[in-house]
Every structure is written in structure tokens, then in C-alpha cells.
Structure 1
Amino acid sequence: MCNDYEQHIAWAEYCRMMQLLALDIPTQQTELDLPQADDIRISDPAPIMRAVGDTIELTRMTFAFPPSGPKGGPIFNFRSEGRSFSNSKRCLIPASAFFEFTGKKSPKAKHRFTLN
């Protein structure tokens, strides 16, 4: 998982995608549930898409896995090999791009990755 991404998916684009997938948008959902942001980092509140019954809802959650112990920090690098996620409550993160950083000293070079 990256530790920085952007969310510039417009509400109209999100609605078109849901329509193409034949998925209903809950009536209480609005463009306020999909705020745009240039940088969403570990521990920031961010929109996610999750299954609720027969629909997909947008809601906000903290970006990262919860700490493994009371004094631990958020987990953002996670090895998935050999693990089962069949009963996990997975979600989708609406992101228009993600960032990776290179270099050994600050400030590191920031590289933007997108499908566009």
C-alpha cells in the first residue's frame, strides 16, 4: 500500500462508473461523500467504498490498517502472501493517482502514478 495518494474523481464520474457496473448509489450519498484532495496520507480521514447489503456506500475511514498493539503506529506496508482475506471487510479506495518516493535524503523525489 502506498502512503500518499490523490483523490480527484468527480462525483459525476463516480456516478457514471456505478451506472456502468449496474450498482445503485444509496439515496443519501452526495458529492460531499467524495471530497477531492491533492494529498491523502497515512492517518488522514479519506473516502472509501464498501459493500453494505446489495449496495456500495461511500464513507470516510482513516487511511491505514489499525496498529497491532496499543503503542504501535498505523500499518501501511503489509505482506499479503500466505494470508486469507475471505472473511475480511475489504474496501476500495477511490484514488486518481498514487505517489512513490525515491532518494535517501529529504526532500525525496515524489513520483505520481496514474492510469490517465
Structure 2
Amino acid sequence: MKYFFLSEGWTVSRVWASDGLWQITAWRRQPDIQRLNICLMENNELLWLYRVEEAVLTVEVKPTTPALATNTIGQVVLKRLMTAEQVIERLGTAEAKCQLQNIQSVAQ
């Protein structure tokens, strides 16, 4: 598995594998990309941890709201995805939070 952090208000757009842009018809499925319930707080901004399958090499991300799109770069390509060891190291040096949204909504 590989990982990356993504700011709140951004989403995954296009994905590349070793043979180029991810082709749903060739792979017969979407790439496995999951947002985990772990985030970092950095400069008053939430950075969510995402997990992607090993076949993914590059991920393009973009803002989800028009307000963010006008105040930031239109899209960003993440070429250096992190290993589990790099994520653990980063979490150890940052203010990490665990979001328990699913548990809280079930309890209510």
C-alpha cells in the first residue's frame, strides 16, 4: 500500500498506473483509494490520510468547492506517494487526530 495526505476540501481526480492513465475498462474497476480516519492539523488546516493500492503511481487532486478553486491552484499532481514507515514517522512529529465520525453517528 501507498499513502498520501490531502487537505480538507480537495478530492482525487485522475490516477496513473505503470501503463499510464488509469483505464477503468482495462482494469475493470476503479483504483482502490480510501480516506482513512486519521488526519493531521497543520497551520489550522486538516490533512487527511489516504491509502492507495500498490499499482497507483501518481494521483491528481483538485479542490471540491468553487471557492477553493478560485483561491488556489486548479489541480496538483502527487508523484511521490508515501510508504507506511514514512506515514508513521510523519504522524510521530505532528499533531495527529483520529476522527470517529462513524462511531459518533451510530451512538446517536
Give TM-score, length-normalised by structure 2. Answer: 0.27
The structure whose Rg is larger is 1
Larger relative helix fraction: 2
Q: Which has the higher contact order (CA 8 A, sep 6+)?
A: 2
Larger relative strand fraction: 2
Give TM-score, length-normalised by structure 1. Answer: 0.26
